[in-house]
Amino acid sequence: MITAGIDMGSRSVKVVLLEEIKVDGAPQLNYAVKKAHLMMPGDIDADQAAEKAFTEALAAAGVSRDQVKSVFATGAGRKQVEFATEGVTEMTAGARGAVYMYPQARTVVDVGAEEGRGIKTDSDGKAIDFAGNEKCAAGAGSFAEAMSRALQLTLKEFGEASLRSDKSIPMNAQCTVFAESEVVSLIHSATPKEDIAKAVLDAVASRVCAMVRRVGIEGNVVLIGGMVHNPGFVQSLKNAMDVDQVLLPELPEFVSALGCALIAAERQH
């Protein structure tokens, strides 16, 4: 049986095709990811973007649409995925995917382009507590992206630059627009780019950490969402949470789509 999970984010569409593997005598069902496909839509029509990403994923996996038993959607644009069988919240999908990958994980930190959130989960991957914040770019990836543009660095350079700094420069602005003017002031005062990059990522980490502390840091912490690709942010978040180790999936942006596909599969039984 094949199921699909679609994470309709604000910047990209993630599709995971999951296949159930029957293992004789196994105590539980096993699954294998058949295809993980990411698409950055060039237009703003979310439904068309989801359709295109899903079609591309099917083609890449050599799977026909009829073979997919169920399609579950999550993410900010999940209601716009008209062909989805059902939608689940980002908290439910993220928790399920994270615990599937790391059964010992009990705290999930999800930071994507638009939003960040902290989730506490039980051993079954069911979200039992979550904290989100007002829709605000200052706690998410788009803020880091805007600030890297202000510093004329690529996102990769931006993250790596912050790791070269050991300075702590507080950023007071709560809003991307005002934060950008703080960054411009720092540039004009000849503050090294790596120190500014660290200040920005520390500010994002601080906002995210406040949400994680609301639900409480318990057990192993797993980070999911596209911001995990930024090593500077990961370090800033570890410092803010005062934890030595966090679990980092290889493809962190697909974890919620994976969770969705798993829930879709489980509801077939």
Binding residues (CB under 8 A) for another protein: these are: 88-89, 91-92, 127-135, 174, 210-211, 214-215, 263
Asked if residue 94 lies in contact with residue 110, where contact means CB atoms within 8 angstroms, the answer is: yes
165 phi/psi in degrees, rounded to 5 = -100, 145
Shortest reach from residue 210's CB to another protein, in Å: 6
Shortest reach from residue 151's CB to another protein, in Å: 25
State how far Cα 35 lies from the chain centre: 18
| Cα distance between residue 17 and residue 15, in whole Å | 7
Shortest reach from residue 142's CB to another protein, in Å: 15
What is the DSSP pairing of strand 13-21 with strand 30-39?
antiparallel
Q: If residue 5 lies in a helix (H) or strand (E), which one and from where to where?
A: strand 2-8
Q: Which is nearer to another protein, 210 or 243 (CB)?
A: 210
Shortest reach from residue 93's CB to another protein, in Å: 9
Q: Which is nearer to another protein, 63 or 173 (CB)?
A: 173
Q: Which is nearer to another protein, 94 or 159 (CB)?
A: 94
What DSSP character marks residue 39? Answer: E
Q: Which is nearer to another protein, 153 or 264 (CB)?
A: 264
